[in-house]
Structure 1
Amino acid sequence: MLVRPLRHTLAAVALALLAAPAQAADAYPSGKITLVVAFAPGGVADTVGRFIAQGLTERLKQNVVVENRGGAGGNIAAALVAHAAPDGYTLLVTTTAIAINETLRDTKQFSASELKTVAIAASSPESLVTNPNNPANNVADLVKAAKDKPITFGSAGVGSGSHIEAEYFFKVIAKVQATHVPFQGGAPAMNATLGNQIDVWATTLGGGAAAQVAAGKLKGIGIADEQRAAVVPNVPTFKEAGFPGHTASSWIGVFAPAKTDPKIVAALNTAINDTIKSSAVQEKLTSIGFDPMTGTPDQAEALFKAEVEKWGRMVKALDLKIN
């Protein structure tokens, strides 16, 4: 007599369990959302992450907090989010580093396949910047000088996007001798350039470099993009200097655990796009040399996969590895 009611009970429980994720997605968000920023406070990832946090708070009507978890080139934060509950309440804000690290770093506690790209919110091209006293006015001038005498270039550290992009350009494309001088971050590399201690600084244009070039304290000699940047319109591209096809940029993206419900990903993507489209955020981004970016989750995912492949090709060509 108990068998049939028990069957009905088990069936009801099974249906309830199947319906729970969909109900949670429909009710999302119903609580605090944490944006785990993969780098320290004050950097570009943190700055853009806080723009996004404010926008999500306003649009999703829930408290959105920023938690900085720097270390291991962004991998500590990425691993934390990759292994978090896929409920949309723990998200990752990181940079191009996550695409680079997929090939560069052997000892990661996660794989890129464990994350879902929600949005790529902003991007800024890689650039070469020098002291105003340097006679080079473009990349062609720099390469010509390097053929006669080896040059030095600084970056924010070994394995940074700027280091990889510049070393790939000098060694593989231009085929000139250039010695990498790694610094502990962008600020000391910038100071070394201001002090004329290195020949050129390889850096993302957005952030400190754009401001220094615009102020005339440093000289931009090349942007790795198809077109010039509005924030420093006098700086030529690599293409203009005779090196077409060499483009690279640093971007800021938002990621969720891979199994996050597509409805939640779509809701977050819409809110982030609306934030980035706002005139106030666009003005803030362009003022620091970043281009606002919007698109669907599928477009963001496709871009991320292309970036993993692109940076992986450069890392392999240079035979770089960090354990």
Structure 2
Amino acid sequence: MTISAARLEMKGISKSFPGVRALHQVDFEVRGGEIHALLGANGAGKSTLMKVLSGAYRPDEGSILIDGAALSIGGPLDAIRSGIQCVYQEVDTALVPRLTVAENIMLDRLTAGRGWIDWSNLQQEASRVLTDIGLTGLDVRQQAGELSIAQKQLVLIGRALAQKAKFIIFDEPTAPLSGEEAEQLFRIMNRLKADGVGCIFISHRLGEVFRISDRVTVMRDGQRISTKTAASTDAQAVVEEMLGKPFEEEFPKAEVAIGEPLLEARGLTSGTKVRGVDLTVRRGEIVGVVGLVGAGKTELSRLLFGADPLDAGELRLHGRGLKLRAP
């Protein structure tokens, strides 16, 4: 699939809520055939700007244009008809779990009220859409509710293409994905780029941003701070623009003495996710627990909190054995 590359512009977008100015005279542009990262700290206005673009909010001021022609976006359906789609992090809210993959991809066909539906043709078209983005291993007859998060994202991308999307907003798409799943998503985004689709990529993972993006726009306090090519800036400069000061000034590390162990975990085991984990947290320190999606971080946290029972292992608090009762 190749579409004619278009140019989308948001000019002078302002939006206020009671007591809060969320956006102030924001300009933003994305071209067909590029991946444009939209960055900012929490509360910078990224999501509000994209909700204006996708029709969830109406701006107080400003205009949205594609190839110089002004759009009238009064709601999400207007945005979709204009070729603007969004793939949200919360994929479950955008899919109908009891419908098949094919039915979710071709959902507009089901709701168009055209009478009889050729189910065989609908499945073939859904398969073709998935093939266009390089995905051939997904059974279009499978119920969407049975899919993994990564597969659900791909179904949403397929739906966007079936509905002739010219621009797709990817809102924190890699947050729930494993490394391998994220790689698959990036391959698809690059394929969309090659086909002339404009991709807006919202992420807090700057390594991913600089790996895949062509341009980077930074927002802070509801305003656009800068737009640069990814090759002309770096992560440190972006962080300073996001915060308005160097990271070290915004979050200076407190130097404190590290004391005795407060919490000790020895051999924590539960099911297949947590197997023989040891952990010590000392007075005055911050201990980070990291890992890919599915590595067991959440399950370990629930064991430490007592939300789930232990199969084996022990917890000690201030050197004394700790017995937690799972609710």
TM-score (norm 2): 0.25
Higher RCO (CA-CA < 8 Å; seq separation 6+): 1
Which one has a larger percent helix, Structure 1 or Structure 2?
A: 1
